[in-house]
Amino acid sequence: MIKIRMPLFITRHVLLALILGGVAGIGFMVFLTEFDHFTSTEAFCTNCHSMELVAEPYRESAHFRPASGVRASCGDCHVSEGVFAATWDHFIGGKDLYNQIFGPDYDDPVIAKLHMPEAAFSAREWFKKRNSATCKRCHVKEAIFGTRPDTVEIHKQDAKDKSCIECHYNLVHAKVPAESVFKRDEWNRMVEQEFGLKRGAADKLLEK
Amino acid sequence: MRNVRITRWYLHLLLFAFPLWLGAINISFADKVSLDSSNWGLEEGEACISCHKKSSAGLTHQWQSSAHASAGVNCLDCHYADQVDKDAIEHEGSIIATIVSPKDCGHCHTREYKETEGSVHSKALSLIKNRIPALADNLTGQEMVTAGCAKCHGSKVEVRGDGSLSPDSWPNTGIGRINPDGSRGSCSACHGRHSFSKAQARDPSACAWCHSGPESPDKGVFDSSKHGMLFAANREKMNLHSDEWVLGKDYSAAPTCVTCHMGATPGVAASHDVGMRDAWNLNQPISEKQSLIIFEDGDRRELPESQPIPRRGNEISKLDGSMGKIKAVASSKRRRQIMSKVCLECHSKGFANGFMKQFDNVVELYNEKFGKPAQAIMLALYDMNLLTPAPFDDPLEFTYWRLWHDEGTRARHGAAMMSPNFTWWEGMHLVGQNFYGEFLPQVRELAGAEKADKLINEHVLSLDEHSWLKNPSKPNPILGYGIGKPSHD
């Protein structure tokens, strides 16, 4: 029988603390993983009515309804891979919850649509900074064969130094122009038309 | 006395200055672009080509074999947009616009842009503004404005707040298109993108896609005319790809639409104002000769000669409703002279004048015998409340519309371009059939014998042209009467 000789400073109390700490640590990690999983689901995100508005066009998109059945859920695209990164994203995402409670009434479809462009811009920026990492969870550039013969060549040659989001945006949610050409006035007029509001009503709603 | 002198001086100025002014313009068909080539060939634009060769090989190939490509004009040179442009979009890292407006083309093709912008062609949409409610809202549906009317007359392109172009207004290459940058017209109405081939635009098919059908039956008219016959048989001798295309110099086998309506002839400058040489308006219930009013800013409009001819410096309303100061007035006579000058490259003066006389005779016959009486009766029926103000809720209104708009137009266009078939069988023969066989009987049915007789006596039977109606016993064997009998005189 091998006798393990403990260092002297490992007293019984220390041993107990280590075991308890270890279990708690594992528990915490499991909790984080589960928490990240749970908070990445469509069901969780659409708990807020405002997110339901965003989800509507998503449910019509190829990311919800692909021929292959590989469905991307909210977190698959909008939450980073890895427990720490995912937790961090959720922590930062907490500001959305704060705004949902204390900010404008995003549950109102008009308000949601009026604020949507800024949300889209920051989401695009997020993707860009991460080199479209979450897209690459499923999509491999070299494996994009498309339905036309030149799709492979385009991705090999012309899109060589680009990440997905630089070309592919406006795929899932309602269409928003690129920030560089976005015109707030035109957007407001469109929202007014869509919801049958008087001209100028959108600007007033935004000032609130 | 002094006044008379001024008027004379003015007339002389009009008569002589106008051709000089026209002659001063380069006579070749399309102006050579005078800009230095450093104005195009944006480096960023080279990147478009590599991807578009794969993603849309067809259009890229069209461009690759174009004069634009050989001159080094690339995608971005035309599609470049500024961030603040209404229709600017971000596309793979560049800010571009889908629509290349005449104003964009005008950066290099300045003269052509100014001519089309001023032309009546570019106002094709406002010209039918009043007809759309009757023909689309009532008779058919709004969908037809997009898929029918606007396809030729142009749409007002609407850019939505999300940056997309509304499918109610785009795609569209109508010649009177109102573009997001405010410019009017569409170069691709005649110059198919992305090759923008000279030869293609000189081919009558460039006009025929709109100028066909009852309102403007010119494709059929040209095809069944002597000119069309010669064109079809001599297409390969037309030198359609030539840089310059002056009649009698670069080609002579046949004239096309371009030749007579906008082409260069020795002494006559080419112009992208296609309606400039038209002396008559052939698309109204009653045809009128018309002057061309040229405004100081280059804009133009037609003015029927029944209206007093305004003078240089006067202000009159433009087609868009605003007021404009008149720079020059080209009378119908002057316009006819320019058109006839084209004829003289191939025909003698007597031949050309004789033809014009035959043409005018048909228009006047239509006007006097059918157009004016029918219009007078219709107006009387509206006045008498026998017809409601709404168009097309009585069969007579369709009959009248067909009389002048379909059949009457075919007859007049047929005569303008020498198609015997259109002038007669498709045109005046149907006008006569309709007038006597449908229009007048329907008037009788609608107004009742007493009121109808009064109207018909006043507007029809009082005219010599209709006196045969008073002589029903005069026989003719065309329908069999008297065949087999010894004689019929």
The answer to whether position A6 is within a domain reads: no
Residue B39 has pLDDT above 90, yes or no: no
Domain that holds residue A82: 14-207
| Contact (Cβ atoms closer than 8 angstroms) between residue A57 and residue A113 | no
The answer to whether position A1 is within a domain reads: no
Q: What three-state secondary structure class fits A168?
A: coil
pLDDT at B32: 74
The answer to whether position A8 is within a domain reads: no
Q: In A, which residues are within 8 Å of B163 by CB distance? A: 175, 177-178, 181-182
What value does the mean pLDDT take over residues B394-409?
98
Which ranges of A130-160 would DSSP assign to H, the alpha helix? 151-153
Cα of A175 to nearest chain B Cα, Å: 6
Closest in B54, B81, B162 to A177, CB measured: B162
| Contact (Cβ atoms closer than 8 angstroms) between residue B149 and residue B128 | yes
pLDDT at A202: 96
Q: How far is residue B60's CA from residue B58's CA, in Å, rounded to a whole number? A: 5
Q: How far is residue B151's CA from residue B2's CA, in Å, rounded to a whole number? A: 53
Closest in B55, B83, B92 to A181, CB measured: B83
pLDDT at B33: 81
Hey, are the CB atoms on A176 and B54 less than 8 Å from each other?
no
The answer to whether position A5 is within a domain reads: no
DSSP string, B253-304: S---HHHHHT-BBTTB---S-GGGG--EE-SSSS-EEEEEEEETTS-EEEEE
Q: How far is residue B156's CA from residue B316's CA, in Å, rounded to a whole number? A: 25
Give 3-state DSSP helix, strand, coil % of chain A, rounded to 5: 60, 0, 40
DSSP letter, residue B404: I
Q: What dihedral do alpha carbons A146, A148, A153, A156 form, nearest 10°?
A: -10
Hey, are the CB atoms on B161 and A189 less than 8 Å from each other?
yes
Work out the angle between the directed axes of helices B349-365 and B332-343 (0-180°, nearest 10).
Answer: 130
pLDDT at B31: 67
Q: How far is residue B197's CA from residue B190's CA, in Å, rounded to a whole number? A: 10
Cα of B102 to nearest chain A Cα, Å: 22
DSSP string, B162-207: TSPBPTTT-S---TT-B-TTS-B--GGGTS-TTT--HHHHHSTHHH
Mean pLDDT of chain A: 93
Q: In A, which residues are within 8 Å of B90 by CB distance? A: 177-178, 180-181
Pick the residue with more confidence: B470 or B35?
A: B470
pLDDT at B14: 46
Q: In B, which residues are within 8 Å of A186 by CB distance? A: 86, 159-161
Hey, are the CB atoms on B161 and A190 less than 8 Å from each other?
yes
| Contact (Cβ atoms closer than 8 angstroms) between residue B218 and residue B414 | no
What residue ranges of chain A have pLDDT lower than 50? none
* Beta bridge mates, B295: B326
| Contact (Cβ atoms closer than 8 angstroms) between residue B329 and residue B312 | yes
In the structure encoding, which two tokens stand for residue B302, read together? 């037609």
| Contact (Cβ atoms closer than 8 angstroms) between residue A192 and residue A198 | yes
- Whether residue B46 lies within 8 A of chain A, CB to CB, comes out as no
Q: Domain of A73: which CATH number? A: 1.10.3820.10
Pick the residue with more confidence: A11 or B444?
A: B444
Domain count, chain A: 1
Q: What is the pTM of this model?
A: 0.88
Pick the residue with more confidence: B2 or B324?
A: B324
Q: What percent of chain A has pLDDT over 90?
A: 87
* Beta bridge mates, B289: B280
Give per-residue pLDDT as tens, B194-241.
999 999 999 999 999 999 999 999 999 999 999 999 999 999 999 999
